[in-house]
Structure 1
């Protein structure tokens, strides 16, 4: 196993103190809107083709731009343009600050003052560059983390068999790997995918104004 693969395991651990435990990856508002637990596998697939693909692509591009000493603000702007929901953008930047703490503690180094305004995929890209995580493993991390976030949240929102939830993630792994291999060669902000998910974006906006909720997003 390569060091990159071991780092993938470390960064994909749900116990990493990055703030991920506060998230449901949109599942809580989806359930409130009528999505059933049985539809969660389809929800996972829909996210992988849209918002997760955008996040993974942005992270891979941020890694490439950081490696070349480029301006990560250009990647942040490209990610924001592909994330229409203000609530999702705010969540992404809040998670970015969590990963920035991980970066500064585990892989310290010069950091742009603008970094606190960067989203999770952009900070992850910078982290991957510093930690020498390869692009395909970085994209795998984003895909895997999204699926695990959804299924972990489901067990709190609609308690069920945790092995069934784990089986759903297992079944998604080939698609996550395929996405990662497709996105790994990306180098410029213009290459970031732009698939949208209007329902997920609308649910995020509604959830942002909901007072009684278990997860922040």
Structure 2
């Protein structure tokens, strides 16, 4: 009787490496993790004010709120983060972020979060480029700009940075809504899962803008005036659970 080998003699082709320079996809998981100590847990992404005004009451409202936020503020943040991850001039990107953030309250929040993120990033991924940005912007650079540079330092690419920025845009409101409304966390997480195709489209648009070049002026600049208005209202509230 002829025996047959249990494995084929021709070796199987190797699996394609994960995206991100140096196969650093695991760094994306760390950076996007809500437990990463960058201060994001203290912010609701506008959800607290939307709840207070009665515009966000249940998971259906949450889904629409997050979708709108993702395609406006999320797209803008994703473009800035992708450009920073691609090595664009950080000072110019920070100025572009200022120009895309008409609300003084949101500008202050973005810089505060940027300062917290760079502090965490310098500990997790020590790098002279992070040190230089911290020295150049002691009040904090805009969070998406810092996020993009952090992704670059961690060995990730522009697409990874865009995904991370987009995910943060909707992750914060979902987490806040669970706490503020007592939503079923399973149902709230399902809202995030159903937004996956939208997140794909936002990340693709952001990275395409970076790939096409044209400088910061050519990056996405989607606006959400109601988010700007309610951010100012929220900042004036004497009692609130979240910082924004």
Q: What TM-score bracket applies, with the shorter chain setting the length?
A: over 0.9
Deviates more, 1:189-198 or 1:89-98: 189-198
Q: Residues 5 and 174 of structure 1: is their aligned pair in 2 closer, same or farther, counting only changes over 3 Å? A: farther
Partner of 1:63: 85
Counterpart-to-counterpart distance in 2, 1:208 and 1:160: 24
Partner of 2:46: 26
Partner of 2:111: 93
1:52 aligns with 2:79: no
**Equivalent pair of 1:144/1:173 in contact (CA under 8 Å):** no
Counterpart-to-counterpart distance in 2, 1:75 and 1:151: 28
Unaligned runs of 5+ in 1: none
Higher relative contact order (CA 8 A, sep 6+): 1
How far apart are residue 5 of structure 1 and its match?
2.5
Partner of 1:79: 97
How far apart are residue 57 of structure 1 and its match?
0.6
SS of 2:237's equivalent?
A: coil
State the aligned residue count.
213
Larger helix percent:
1
How far apart are residue 32 of structure 1 and its match?
1.3
Partner of 1:8: 28
SS of 2:243's equivalent?
A: coil
How far apart are residue 89 of structure 1 and its match?
0.6
Deviates more, 1:173-182 or 1:1-10: 1-10
Could you give the per-residue CA deviations for residues 57-79 of structure 1, whole angstroms, max 9, x where no partner exists?
A: 1111122235xxx3x11100111
1:212 aligns with 2:239: yes
How far apart are residue 40 of structure 1 and its match?
1.0
1:106 aligns with 2:124: yes
Q: How does 1:188-203 map to 2 (within 5 A)?
A: 188-203=215-230
SS of 1:77's equivalent?
A: helix
Partner of 1:129: 152
Alignment TM-score, normalising by the size of structure 1: 0.93
Please, what is the CA RMSD of the aligned residues? Answer: 1.4
Could you give the per-residue CA deviations for residues 149-190 of structure 1, whole angstroms, max 9, x where no partner exists?
A: 111100110002111001000000111012112211314311
Counterpart-to-counterpart distance in 2, 1:191 and 1:14: 30
**Equivalent pair of 1:48/1:143 in contact (CA under 8 Å):** yes
SS of 2:242's equivalent?
A: coil
Q: How does 1:150-161 map to 2 (within 5 A)?
A: 150-161=173-184
SS of 1:50's equivalent?
A: helix
Counterpart-to-counterpart distance in 1, 2:202 and 2:189: 20
How far apart are residue 109 of structure 1 and its match?
2.2
Alignment TM-score, normalising by the size of structure 2: 0.83
How far apart are residue 19 of structure 1 and its match?
0.3
Counterpart-to-counterpart distance in 2, 1:119 and 1:135: 17
Counterpart-to-counterpart distance in 2, 1:85 and 1:79: 12
